[in-house]
Every structure is written in C-alpha cells, then in structure tokens.
Amino acid sequence: MFFCGDFLVKAPAVAFSICLVGLCASFAQLRAALAQDEPSKSSAEKHLSEFATYRASPWAPKWISLGGYEDVHVLRRALDSVNVKVGLGANKILGNSAFVLSRTKKDVTLTIATVADLGFGDEGASLSAIYIRARQLGVELCPAELGPLLRLRYLSQPVGEWLHIGMTPIPTGADSLLDFTVANGGTGPMLLGGNAKPDLLMPSQIKFVFILPPSLNAVSSGPVDAARARRSVSP
C-alpha cells in the first residue's frame, strides 16, 4: 500500500519509499533536485512516439476551461454542492495564499500518461525526473487550480482511478510541499492533497495529468475535433 496525502491506497506489486531527509524543502531545493535528476534528451526522444500514441487514446474530459470562479470560497461551495470529498491535504492547498485562481477564462487540452508511458522502468521515478521528462516531451505542468476544476468536471470518474495532477507543488509549511490528486476510491469523487517533494519515488503505473500545448497537439495527435474536445464528463 502507499500513502497519498489523506488516504492509504492499495497498489499490488508496488514498492517504493518516501525519503524523509530534508524536511525543510524549498523551491530552491526543488530546482536543484530537478537539475540533478534530469534524464538525457535522447532517452526522452526514444519514448516520444509511444507517448504520442498514448496521448491520442480516448480520455475525457480532454478539454477544460481554467478560470470562472470569483474566489476560493465560491470554488469550495461548488465542490460541496456536488458532494466532493476534500481531504485534509487538499484543504491546506486551497487555503494557502500560493493557490491562485485565473481571472480570465482559458481553454486547455489535457493529456494523461503513466510514469511508464514517460519511459521509466518498473522501478518508477522521482517526481522531479518525471516533470523533467514531461517537459522534454513537450507537455506542460498544470496550474494548481486545475485540480479542483478537473474534479468538478470529472464526476463520473471510474472507481479505482487516481489521477495525479502534474503541477508546481504548493508549500504549506516549512516541511511540506503538496499537490492535488483527483480520485474515486469507491466512496465517490475525492480531491486529495499529497506529498510533492522532488525526491518522492512514484510507481510506474501512477497516472499524471498534464497540459498539451496547441502546437504539440496539432503535430502529434492531429487537429482536435471541437465537439469531441468539449465533451466533458456528465455530472
């Protein structure tokens, strides 16, 4: 089993450890860890075709609109109105000054990939290495607000699916970096917050959500069909 912020999650045949060293992690340390863990570009290019194929596979919602909420209080009420269970870690993120909402609406296309899809082996990879590889393949990290917005748009998420939001971690204390996970563990839609330290080892089957830039989407997956892209999951 592994711990995802607010819940224990069963994951057969998964073994990984969470490093407890460096409890005073900062963004400067995060950047240093990113530099140390950077995989070679050639290694990333080796898996580009497989990742492009994965991007083209059906998954909804592929399209989502950022912005649209006046403040965090309105966003919290929206989550509560559809019975989303917000975990303690997610609550800390929502209540942090580093969590900001877009003032203007912006449509983005989402893609998902497992750690294995990014070209890492069965042993998984550190969070920093995963984000470096994702950037090398051309996808972007999500703004933090995408976590709760995706939760609201993806209420029919199948039981057992856990989507880790690829995002810049939110510092919620001197010893804490957190990020969002959108999940359905069998008791309904959940928005969780979990450990996001750069040296956290992520198992190979963990799914990440990233933003697919329009240029890369056009080159790798073909034009996005407007009707299909805007087909959100029904509440």
In terms of Cα–Cα distance, which of 81, 211, 225 is closest to 150?
Answer: 211
In a domain, 17, yes or no: no
The residues, ordered by sequence, that sit 6+ positions from 166 with a Cβ below 8 Å of its Cβ are 130, 131, 134, 139, 141, 142, 208, 209, 210
8 within a domain of the structure (yes/no): no
Q: Which residues pair with 69 in a beta bridge?
A: none
Residue 235 located in a structural domain:
no
Q: Strand, coil or helix: what is 192?
A: strand
Tell me the pLDDT tens digit for each residue of 110-137.
Answer: 989 999 989 999 999 999 999 999 999 8
Mean pLDDT to the nearest integer, 179-189: 96
Answer yes or no: is 13 within a domain: no
Decide which of 181 and 6 is more confident. 181
Q: Which residues contact 223 (CB under 8 A, 6 or more apart)?
A: none
Domain that holds residue 33: 23-229
Q: What pairs with residue 132 in β-bridges?
A: none
DSSP one-letter code for 206: -
Q: Is residue 16 part of a domain?
A: no
Q: What is the pLDDT of residue 211?
A: 93
Tens of pLDDT along 41-97? 444 444 444 454 444 444 555 788 999 899 999 999 999 999 999 999 999 999 999
Q: What is the pLDDT of residue 216?
A: 63
Residue 90 and residue 167 in contact, taking contact as beta carbons nearer than 8 Å:
no
